[in-house]
Amino acid sequence: MSATRRAAVLGSPIAHSLSPVLHRAAYAELGLGDWAYDRYEIDEAALPGFLEKLGPEWAGLSLTMPLKRAVIPLLDEISATAASVEAVNTVVLTSDGRRAGDNTDIPGMIAALEERGVRQVERASVLGAGATASSALAALSRICTGEVTAYVRSAARADEMRGWGERLGVTVRTAAWEDAAAAFEAPLTIATTPAGTTDALAAAVPDRPGTLFDVLYEPWPTALATAWAERCGAVVGGLDLLVHQAVLQVERMTGCAPAPLAAMRAAGEAALAAR
């Protein structure tokens, strides 16, 4: 057997990550018996030293918070997609020793929406203004033909979102979080906030909602997703995003395409059900 090829997910905290489950399921389905995928608790201070110690058996890394921006100065190149939001969640380690950064969150969002039949919308709403919200704007820059309204908690966050909109070529209007129920008037609402943040909005879901993309996968379903589904609205969840971005990571790291979406999703669902 050839030497084991290695990949891993890095971040802090990392114990909750489903990435090992998804990637290992892909390796099993693809017959990559000599591949291993692990998780490492790594913060910004430890990242440079970790990267320096990687040997030629390493094929790639998945990155979560707080490393998506911190890794950029340590790379030899980054894709235009990653540069657009200044965030790298995927590092491919090439045979000549180079470190290439990419962002699969953005195309993962687009693929997850497309799977549910959402290919283009005339306007959209974003709940929140963190790192995931900027990725959402990047995704919307490709599928939204009109205005995006971002519902935020502070003037500083509003400025950030408008700035990202200008950079990404998206017309962004900002509104106060207190008015967030109005977000549901758009055909697509993307919720990017931490667990519990949108629970109070569940009662405001209209009788005929459009599509909700709630990026959380644990706990799931959220109160908002439950209320949305009860009113027969389409719901895209955080596991959909996680699986689609992991599919792209597997393809980039292993060179095997297409990655086994169904097997990876089934493994993720089983892992969440067992928690």
CA 80 to chain centre: 17
| 143-163 as b/e: b if 16+ CB within 10 A | bbeeebbbbbeeeebbebbbe
Sheet holding 35-41, edge to edge: 35-41, 5-11, 58-63, 90-93, 99-102, 77-78
Do 30 and 259 touch, CB atoms closer than 8 A?
yes
Q: What is the CA radius of gyration of the chain?
A: 19
Of these residues, 68, 157, 244, 252, which one is catalytic?
68
Beta strands in the chain (DSSP E): 5-11, 35-41, 58-63, 77-78, 90-93, 99-102, 124-127, 148-152, 172-176, 188-191, 211-214, 234-236
What's the CATH superfamily of 5-102+245-274?
A: Leucine Dehydrogenase, chain A, domain 1 (3.40.50.10860)
pLDDT in tens, the chain (275 residues): 455 999 999 999 999 999 999 999 999 999 999 999 999 999 999 999 999 999 999 999 999 999 999 999 999 999 999 999 999 999 999 988 899 999 999 999 999 999 999 999 999 999 999 889 999 999 999 999 999 999 999 999 999 999 999 999 999 999 999 999 999 999 999 999 999 999 999 999 999 999 999 999 988 999 999 999 999 999 999 999 999 999 999 999 999 999 999 999 999 999 999 98
Q: How far apart are CA 163 and CA 259, in angstroms?
A: 35
Half-sphere exposure (Cβ direction) of 103: Cα atoms closer than 13 Å = 28
Quickly name the fold that domain 106-236 has.
Rossmann fold (3.40.50)
Nearest C-alpha neighbor of 78 from the set 268, 252, 206: 252
The pair of three-digit structure tokens given for residue 273, joined into one six-digit string: 């059900």
CB 113 within 8 A of CB 240: no
Contact assessment for residue 42 and residue 95, using Cβ atoms and an 8 Å cutoff: no
Catalytic, 53? Answer no
Per-residue pLDDT at 1: 44
Same CATH fold, 106-236 and 5-102+245-274?
A: yes
pLDDT of residue 3: 58
Q: Where are the chain's structural domains?
A: 5-102+245-274, 106-236
